[in-house]
Amino acid sequence: MRLAIIGYGKMGKEIERLALERRVQVTVKLDSKNSSIGDGANAFDVAVHFATPASVVSHVEQCVKAKKNLVVGTTGWSKDLSQVQSLVEAGGIGLIHASNFSIGVNVFFRVMNLAGELFNNLEDYDVAVQEIHHKDKADSPSGTALTIAEILMQKIKRKKEILNTPPSGKMKANQLQVTSTRTGSVVGTHTVVFDSPYDSLEFVHTAKNRAGFALGALLAAQWIEGRKGMFTMEDVLASNLT
């Protein structure tokens, strides 16, 4: 597989490092100074996107024009999801998007689906989501934290609203609070707390470095090659667990 890396920052460089270890060719690298696929369209098979949210639609359009599949690890572009889906379907390409490509995080998502089902009828237990990232992270809350919150709201029917700002007065029973902290160089920690008057349970995922995200993105790039349509990391994980 020949890989294009769109967004040659810390994540892009980590993907390149792991790709070379796994004998995957990195044939195109785009950064903020050179953001157009242009003449490089024939030089790669799949693109991996870890750039800015504002560039997602443009790069999807370029990949559609080039008939190349794409893995989007960039977050913060959910408002453009319907437009991207239309472009992918009309263009006949394949695209995987996820709030987090870490294999461990995607297993964590599955665990939260089960936990949400178990706590749905246990009204003595409240739930909250907490996340910590490095001080340079652009979006807050993280896409991963919002995905966890959305999973929990689907399963715990009494939760109807995500509160991602400090509450003004007493919180409503139907609110699920998501709190964010930005400090230092923390790669990423996500915690889900189920608390009752009797006991408390905590589920924690801690990223040690960026390699976990890069490895998942490479796995997704290999999986999407030759496929058409919109997919998520859940589809990739399902294929590898069955």
**Which amino acids are annotated catalytic?**
133, 137
Distance (Å, rounded) from C-alpha 194 to C-alpha 199? 9
Dmax over CA atoms of the chain, in Å, equals 63
Location of structure tokens 């453009």: 80
Both tokens of residue 93?
Answer: 């390409």
Q: By three-state DSSP, how is residue 22 classified? A: coil
DSSP β-bridge partners for residue 178:
129
Classify burial at 32, counting beta carbons within 10 Å of its beta carbon; exposed 0-12, middle 13-18, buried 19 or more: exposed
